[in-house]
Amino acid sequence: MTNPETLISEEEILGRVSELARQISGDYADKEELVLIGILKGSFIFLADLARRLTIPRRIEFLAVSSYEHGSVRSGAVRLVMDVRHSIEGKHVLIVEDIVDTGHTLHYLIGMLKTRKPASIRTCTLLHKELSTEVEIDIDYVGFTIGNEWVVGYGLDYDEKDRTLPYIGVIDPNG
Ligand code: IMP
Ligand code: MG
Q: Which pLDDT tens digit goes with each residue over 154-170?
A: 999 999 999 999 999 99
Report whether residue 150 contacts ligand 1, using a CB cutoff of 6 Å: yes
Report whether residue 49 contacts ligand 1, using a CB cutoff of 6 Å: no
Model pTM? 0.95
Angle subtended by helix axes 10-27 and 44-53, to nearest 10? 50
- The rounded distance, in Å, linking the Cα atoms of 141 and 21 is 10
With a CB cutoff of 8 Å and minimum separation 6, the contacts of 45 are 154, 155, 164
For 22-60, what is each residue's pLDDT tens digit?
Answer: 999 999 999 999 999 999 999 999 999 999 999 999 999
- Does residue 27 have an active-site annotation? no
Q: Is the pLDDT of residue 1 over 70?
A: no
Select which of 101, 138, 157, 162 is catalytic: 101
